[in-house]
Amino acid sequence: MGYALDFGWLNDAVSLIASGAAMTIFLITVSAVAGIVLSILGAAARRSRHAVLRRAIAGYVELIRNTPFLVQLFFIFFGLPSLGIRLDPVVAAILAMTLNMTAYTTEIVGAGLDAVPKGQREAALALGLRPRLVFIKIVLPQALKVIYPALTSQIVIMMLESAVVSQIAVRELTYEADMLQARTFRAFETYFIITLVYLAMSIGLRRLLIAGGNRMLAGGVS
């Protein structure tokens, strides 16, 4: 083999990789929080009395779940400016990630809501709680407990998928990798290291979320 692996460039690259990783973590944090809040609203609306609302949310979920994230990203970043909506790359990335995340988590949260026994709702109503309080205090906490592992997986998947936003020049981990390999001509070594960083981040994120879930949700994750 005439090729010797060279990791000599790594010393100077650590700070760039760290800042890229920080950007990736920032993106996933914002879109995960926004996505989960929106999907709770979405799942509740999908079970509401308004047929139009129900159908609109079902359509949105199907549209997002049946098209690639990359196309959604391009549509938002390149397509929307022709309607006069010009977005900063980071904003476009967060918007695309949140919209994508919400579609998947709406289904997950919905499954959780359906899994809560009907008697819980009826018991709470019988105690005189208002319907909104019944949802927030009784149904939602039980639903979240059931779906927490699925939410965790979805957040990790979204974090890995965020590698794609490098294509609209958001300076996250993959973008920094592209820049590094263009400068060092060590493409394989660069992507190898960045892949390891992603692997460590996905393992770390999963552990963190499970530990956090065990602490926050009463009685741990079921």
Binding site for other proteins (CB under 8 A): 1, 3, 62-63, 65-72, 74-75, 78-83, 156, 160-161, 163-164, 166-167, 174, 177, 181, 187-188, 191-192, 194-195, 198-199, 202-203
Q: Which is nearer to other proteins, 148 or 175 (CB)?
A: 175
Q: What's the rounded Cα separation, in Å, for the pair 121 and 143?
A: 12
The least distance separating other proteins from the CB of residue 141, rounded to whole angstroms, comes to 27
The least distance separating other proteins from the CB of residue 4, rounded to whole angstroms, comes to 10
CA nearest neighbour of 142 among 111, 122, 116, 108: 116
Q: Which is nearer to other proteins, 147 or 156 (CB)?
A: 156
The least distance separating other proteins from the CB of residue 151, rounded to whole angstroms, comes to 16
The least distance separating other proteins from the CB of residue 206, rounded to whole angstroms, comes to 9
Q: Determine which helix (DSSP H) or strand (DSSP E) holds 104, and give its type and residue range.
A: helix 89-115
CA nearest neighbour of 65 among 99, 29, 28, 115: 99
Q: What's the rounded Cα separation, in Å, for the pair 186 and 12?
A: 14
23 and 206 Cβ atoms separated by less than 8 Å: no
Q: Which is nearer to other proteins, 82 or 218 (CB)?
A: 82
Q: Which is nearer to other proteins, 30 or 74 (CB)?
A: 74
Q: What's the rounded Cα separation, in Å, for the pair 43 and 182?
A: 44
Q: Which is nearer to other proteins, 3 or 52 (CB)?
A: 3
